[in-house]
Structure 1
């Protein structure tokens, strides 16, 4: 496979991993970067984890990656803690390093194949063809949204990404993870809003589009554990236990499967459930990647009914 080499386009790329108190997930994420031979510089930004395992993982990987402990966030969200404070730091850091592209991952994600020169060449073609785009989402698509995306997501002019319309009922202009054109992001967004929904709403109002890569190379792990208010309270733990949350890492894709993915008909959207192998997870037709009640809804059957009931109780 045509991996990135230090003499190639990797000089334009820097990678950031955002971490908080999920040691086993973080370890898997960082191991995937090593297994996929990522050669771009990697910075792990930890949101002041106090979990002993997470702290041990951070210490162990100091030999491989730059580790940064975040300062106290000026604004902390209930769902994501100080993530957006840390993302602002990452953008500033990428600018200071003179990097064109910044790849953002979270600790409950992993690479599933090597990043190639051709992947960044495709990203360059996408950004050139779409001056109103600042991000290429480099994850696989989710089968949960299949019907919606089959109808609405279309290949862009470069043939390297799918675009959703600005009135798409979901994320069409921004995601907290993926490949950002650093200068373009500053031009179009100015600065980050606080939270994923706020940034996506801003993008939709401004006509900013996000590409969904036809050449995905990373993904969230299915049915992850999550935090709310940087804590795992008893109700959340119960909901996630019933929803079958846990640690379900992906196999790294074998070479022949990567070739099949990259050479497929591009009208075939790349859904995670169709392409990725998760050997420790009992097969289910649709995966959840969000934690909390989302896992109950994705499991189907009585668990879906329980999740729907709890949603009605929460939102009335």
Structure 2
């Protein structure tokens, strides 16, 4: 498996992510694709990581609020070997358990035996995704060995998520291209593949209550949201072998909700937050207006 990590100006997070991969999946090839970070701390981390792993410095500009993420995902896809699995993580995520060669072989076997399988999520389910009754419908398919999500509306994450595992040859066989925006990729995946499979015992997760960027910027609205939510650096504890086995072997299968199986190194209010402006529509509106005004001034 070839693991790609996408990075921008979050050196402390990136270092934590890389260390977790080195601890949990030392047998996997690791490539970091950085989207033009200019933060001194991040540049130092990238230089140190480059002594051990491949680091690619890109300055892709897609015009999307997530900067060059999807352009860099496409670049990673193009450089991945035909006969391998690729896994996409981000600097604000980390691995939380060892990924054995048997785990990787099981993932390969799933792609081999399920021709409509396009994407597998390596991540736990966010507890905040279960707040609405319409979004709680997760079903375990015993024949496939995965969980699948059946929200009442076609939500992003149903068929595609930016954190993913995919078979490179399969994606190339259908002419897959990563488009700008998760919803766009979600709609396209829905036309080609089955719903995104979710592992019974995932191995990665976003760090809760982390900081964020939109369009490589932090607007005043975004900074205010980070302050209100007490955003900071909250690494996750590694799962014990006993905890992983309990999740993998539970009968009936238990939905792998992050807050039920993982713990941060510091106590946090649950459900965990992953977007500083989550649930604050007025902040999102102010953020969009501020970024639009900045764009107009540059023009």
Fold equivalence (TM over 0.5): yes
Q: Within 1, Cα distance between the matches of 2:109 and 2:134?
A: 26
Answer whether contact 2:159 2:195 (CA < 8 A) is retained.
yes
**Judging changes above 3 Å, is the alpha-carbon distance between structure 1 residues 189 and 41 closer, same or farther for their aligned structure 2 residues?**
same
The alpha-carbon deviation at position 75 of structure 1 amounts to 2.1
Partner of 1:225, secondary structure, is coil
Unaligned runs of 5+ in 2: 289-299
Q: Tell me the equivalent position of 1:76.
A: 63
Q: Tell me the equivalent position of 1:85.
A: 71
Partner of 2:47, secondary structure, is helix
**Judging changes above 3 Å, is the alpha-carbon distance between structure 1 residues 235 and 288 closer, same or farther for their aligned structure 2 residues?**
same
Answer whether contact 2:120 2:198 (CA < 8 A) is retained.
yes
Counterpart of 1:58 (choices 30, 46, 67) is 46
Q: Within 2, Cα distance between the matches of 1:126 and 1:167?
A: 27
The alpha-carbon deviation at position 160 of structure 1 amounts to 2.2
Counterpart of 1:105 (choices 75, 78, 89) is 89
Q: Within 1, Cα distance between the matches of 2:211 and 2:83?
A: 33
Mapped pair 1:293 → 2:277 = yes
Answer whether contact 2:136 2:151 (CA < 8 A) is retained.
no
Q: Within 1, Cα distance between the matches of 2:215 and 2:105?
A: 39
What does 1:232-311 align with in structure 2 at a 5 Å threshold? 232-265=218-251, 267-282=253-268, 284-289=269-274, 291-294=275-278, 297=279, 307=280, 310=283
Instruction: State the TM-score, normalizing by the size of structure 2.
Output: 0.87
Mapped pair 1:49 → 2:22 = no
Query: Could you tell which deviates more after superposition, 141-150 or 49-58?
Result: 141-150
Mapped pair 1:183 → 2:203 = no
The alpha-carbon deviation at position 137 of structure 1 amounts to 0.3
Q: How many residues align?
A: 285
Query: Could you tell which deviates more after superposition, 135-144 or 114-123?
Result: 114-123
Mapped pair 1:121 → 2:109 = no
Cα RMSD (Å): 2.2
The alpha-carbon deviation at position 190 of structure 1 amounts to 2.2
Deviations, residues 275-315 of structure 1 (Å, cap 9, x unaligned): 01102133x231122x2311xx4xxxxxxxxx255468789
What does 1:181-220 align with in structure 2 at a 5 Å threshold? 181-188=167-174, 190-206=176-192, 208-220=194-206
Deviations, residues 229-265 of structure 1 (Å, cap 9, x unaligned): 2011222111211122111100111222122222222
Q: Within 2, Cα distance between the matches of 1:229 and 1:118?
A: 39
Deviations, residues 8-63 of structure 1 (Å, cap 9, x unaligned): xxxxx111000000111101101111222421110000001000000000111122
Unaligned runs of 5+ in 1: 1-12, 298-306
**Judging changes above 3 Å, is the alpha-carbon distance between structure 1 residues 288 and 120 closer, same or farther for their aligned structure 2 residues?**
same
Mapped pair 1:174 → 2:165 = no
Query: Could you tell which deviates more after superposition, 168-177 or 154-163?
Result: 154-163
Deviations, residues 115-161 of structure 1 (Å, cap 9, x unaligned): 0123223323432443222111010111222344543x222353421
Q: Within 1, Cα distance between the matches of 2:46 and 2:160?
A: 29
Instruction: State the TM-score, normalizing by the size of structure 1.
Output: 0.83
The alpha-carbon deviation at position 67 of structure 1 amounts to 0.8
